[in-house]
Amino acid sequence: MSSTSTSVPLLSTPDLSHTWKRATDEPDWVRRSLITIALVFLGLFLVLPLAVVLYSAFEQGLGVWYAAITEPDAAASIRLTLLVVVFVVPINVIFGVAVAWAITKFEFPGKPLLLAIIDMPFAISPVVVGLIFVILFGSQGWLGNWLSAHDMRIIFAVPGIIIVIAFGTLPFVARELIPLMQQQGKQEEEASLTLGASGWKTFWYVTLPNIKWGLIYGVILCNARAMGEFGAVAIVSGRIRGETNTMPLHIEVLYNEYMFTAAFAVSSILTGLALVTIAIKSTVEWFESRHNAE
Amino acid sequence: MSIRIHQINKRFKDFVAVDNVTLELPEGELTALLGPSGSGKTTLLRIIAGLEQPDSGRIEFYGEDATHQHVSDRGVGFVFQHYALFKHMTVYENVAYGLTVKPRRFRPSKDEIRKKVMRLLELVQLDWTAHRYPSQLSGGQRQRIALARALAVEPKVLLLDEPFGALDAKVRAELRRWLRRLHDEIHVTSVFVTHDQEEALEVSDRVVVMNQGRVEQEGTPEEVYDHPANPFVYQFLGNVNRFHTHIESGHARIGNLSIPAPELTDVDQKSGLTYIRPHDFEVLAEKSAENAIHAVIETVLVVGPTVRLELRTDSADELIHVELPKHRFRELGLLQGDDAWLKPLNSRIFLASA
Closest among B16, B69, B72, B64 to B44, alpha carbons compared: B16
Tell which of B236, B265, B282 closes a domain: B236
Å between B56 CA and nearest CA of chain A? 20
Kindly state whether A35 is in contact with chain B, defined as any CB-CB distance less than 8 angstroms.
no
Q: How far apart are CA B126 and CA A292, in angstroms?
A: 25
Q: How far apart are CA B26 and CA B186, in angstroms?
A: 15
Residues B319 and B257 in one domain: yes
Kindly state whether A197 is in contact with chain B, defined as any CB-CB distance less than 8 angstroms.
yes
Q: What is the pLDDT of residue B266?
A: 74
State whether A195 and B133 contact (CB < 8 Å).
no
The more confident residue out of A288 and B275 is B275
Tell which of B194, B221, B236 closes a domain: B236
Least CB–CB distance from A198: residue in B72, B78, B88 = B72
Q: Report whether B134 contacts B82 (CB < 8 A).
A: no
Residues B247 and B187 in one domain: no
Question: What is the per-residue pLDDT across B130-164, written as a single tens digit (0 to 9) for each?
Answer: 999 999 999 999 999 999 999 999 998 999 999 98
Helix (H, G, I), strand (E, B) or coil at B304: coil
Residues B246 and B179 in one domain: no
Q: What is the pLDDT of residue B76?
A: 92
Question: What is the per-residue pLDDT across A46-66, written as a single tens digit (0 to 9) for each?
Answer: 899 889 888 988 888 888 889
Residues B199 and B343 in one domain: no
State whether B49 and A194 contact (CB < 8 Å).
yes
State whether A195 and B75 contact (CB < 8 Å).
no
Phi first, then psi: what are they for B255, rounded to 5°? Answer: 60, -125
Residues B95 and B68 in one domain: yes
Chain A CB contacts of B97 under 8 Å are 192, 195, 197, 205
Residues B174 and B141 in one domain: yes
Phi first, then psi: what are they for B223, rounded to 5°? Answer: -55, -50
Residues B286 and B154 in one domain: no
Q: How far apart are CA A74 and CA A61, in angstroms?
A: 18
Q: What is the pLDDT of residue A21?
A: 60
Chain A CB contacts of B80 under 8 Å are 187, 190-191
Per DSSP bridges, beta strands B257-260 and B15-25 are unpaired
Chain A CB contacts of B77 under 8 Å are 194
Chain A residue with Cα closest to B76: A194
Domain count, chain B: 2
Average pLDDT per 10 consecutive residues for chain A, totaling 294 residues? 45 53 77 93 90 88 89 92 94 92 86 87 90 87 83 86 92 92 90 92 92 88 89 88 89 90 89 86 81 59
Question: Which H or E run includes A210?
Answer: helix A208-228
Residues B250 and B190 in one domain: no
Chain A CB contacts of B149 under 8 Å are 191, 195
Residues B206 and B78 in one domain: yes
Q: How far apart are CA B292 and CA B334, in angstroms?
A: 17
State whether B135 and A294 contact (CB < 8 Å).
yes
Tell which of B220, B236, B252 closes a domain: B236
Å between A251 CA and nearest CA of chain B? 45
How much is the ipTM here?
0.84
Domain CATH number, residue B28: 3.40.50.300
Residues B186 and B279 in one domain: no
Residues B265 and B220 in one domain: no
* Burial annotation B102-112 (CB, 10 A radius, 16+ → b, else e): beeeeeeeeee
From the candidates A181, A190, A193, A194, which should be mutated to test the interface with B, based on the most B CB atoms within 10 A? A194
Strands (DSSP E) along B42-138, which ranges?
A: 56-61, 64-65, 76-79
The residue range of the domain holding B152 is 3-236
Chain A residue with Cα closest to B154: A195
Residues B17 and B126 in one domain: yes
Q: How far apart are CA B26 and CA B46, in angstroms?
A: 18
Closest among A209, A201, A204 to A184, alpha carbons compared: A209
Chain B residue with Cα closest to A208: B88
pLDDT at B246 over 90: no
Give bridge partners of residue B348 from the DSSP assignment. Answer: B275
